[in-house]
Amino acid sequence: MLIAAEPREFSGLLRFCRNVRPLNWPVHWARTVELNGRDGILVANGAGSERASQAVDIARLVLPLGMICSMGYCGALDEEMKVGDIFVAERVRTSCWEYVTVVPESKQPHRAGVLTSVDHVAQTAEEKRKLRECGAAAVEMEAGGVAAKAAELGLPLCCIKSVTDLSGESFQLDLNSALRADGRFDTMRLFAASCRRPLSLLPELLRLGERSRTASRMLGEFIGHCRF
């Protein structure tokens, strides 16, 4: 089972999938697929650990679970990481716990280390610097919830992310205020904010969209060629 925040995080991987079928689950988006000759489930249920944890709970009521993989976008804390780089977490750290992961077999280039999972978008370079000082190499919002559920169920955990924002970058757009209760970003609010300051915010919004497409493509190519 692979869990992400948004369906677009699966867009690159779907090119490697066969027999893709929708699932009528009470989540934002779910599909059953065949990937490298094995059956799998893809679920996107919004940003944040609570939404990711909920996706695991729903899935476990329907079918027996094997390995759980948290995949999607992340922010770089390591200054050497570039947009689109693949990051495979060896450990997932939250404010309370640290979880050990299973690392997939892959000959594809990637980075590895500690992933820190927080309850908000890391907006500023200063916040990223402080997280880096604690030993993490990347930051995101969902893996902590997936990791906690995997530990509760005694299941192996994998975590694969791709970089969309760099360690030295700060967002001018207030992404946290645009995050809705359903775990989805209010794109109209972001677009309206961009239009009020088109010279600075609109290029950032367009750049984030382009980087997300790059990250999705790199995720698909990596996961599509690795062995779990």
pLDDT tens, position by position, 59-115: 999 999 999 999 999 999 999 999 999 999 999 999 999 999 999 999 999 999 999
Count of structural domains within the chain: 1
Q: Are 44 and 4 in contact (CB under 8 A)?
A: yes
Q: What share of the chain is helix, strand, coil (3-state, %, to 5)?
A: 35, 30, 35
In this structure, what CATH number is given to the domain that contains residue 51?
Answer: 3.40.50.1580
Tell me the residue range of the domain where 94 lies: 2-225
SS3 52: helix
Name the CA radius of gyration of the chain, rounded: 17
Tokens for 205? 């919004």
Phi, psi dihedral angles at 125 (to 5 degrees): -65, -30
Residue range 141-168: mean pLDDT, rounded: 98
Strand blocks (E) in 82-146: 86-93, 98-100, 111-117, 138-140
Mean pLDDT over each residue of the chain, to the nearest integer: 96
- Give the CA count within 13 Å in the CB-facing half-sphere of 135: 9
Q: Which of 79, 155, 78 is nearest to 112 (CA)?
A: 78
Task: Convert the pLDDT of each residue in 9-20 to its tens digit.
Answer: 999 999 999 999
Report the relative pairing of strands 38-44 and 29-35 from DSSP bridges: antiparallel
Find all residues with CB under 8 Å of 152, minimum gap 6, and list them.
Answer: none
Distance, CA of 219 to CA of 128 (rounded, Å): 22
39-66 pLDDT per residue, tens: 999 999 999 999 999 999 999 999 999 9
Look up residue 83 and give its DSSP letter.
T
Q: Are 154 and 67 in contact (CB under 8 A)?
A: no
